Amino acid sequence: KQASRSSQELYLELSKLQEYERRLLDMVAEKQQILHQYSGQKKRLELQQQVLITQQRLGRCRQAISKVEEQIQQLDNRN
């Protein structure tokens, strides 16, 4: 019963992270689209920095997803 609850919690966490990943992907695409519209160097640098920061957040999110998937796999292997 405890393992089942943990499994449910892990799947819920995974779902939340996947939704967060989807939103971050949208944000990256949106920021890149805006970036391509600007020709001014100062504004472009600022936008490039925003894209980079968002991509870094996306990377951390994907690492968290991998960790949760690994925990689910370990739990499944025990059962």
CA dist., res. 21 & res. 60, Å (int): 10
If you average pLDDT over every residue of the chain, what do you get? Answer: 91
Q: Is residue 17 within 8 Å of 61, Cβ to Cβ?
A: yes
Of 46, 19, 13, the closest CA to residue 31 belongs to: 46
**Residue-level pLDDT at 5:** 63
The pLDDT of 8-14, averaged and rounded, is 95
For residue 42, what pLDDT is reported?
A: 85
Model pLDDT for residues 21-41, shown as the tens digit of each residue = 999 999 999 999 998 888 788
How many Cα atoms within 13 Å fall on the side-chain side of residue 30? Answer: 7
Could you tell me the pTM of the whole model? 0.85
Q: Are the CB atoms for 8 and 75 separated by under 8 Å?
A: no
User: What does the alpha-carbon distance between residue 57 and residue 24 come to, in Å, rounded to a whole number?
Assistant: 8
Q: What percent of the chain has pLDDT over 90?
A: 71
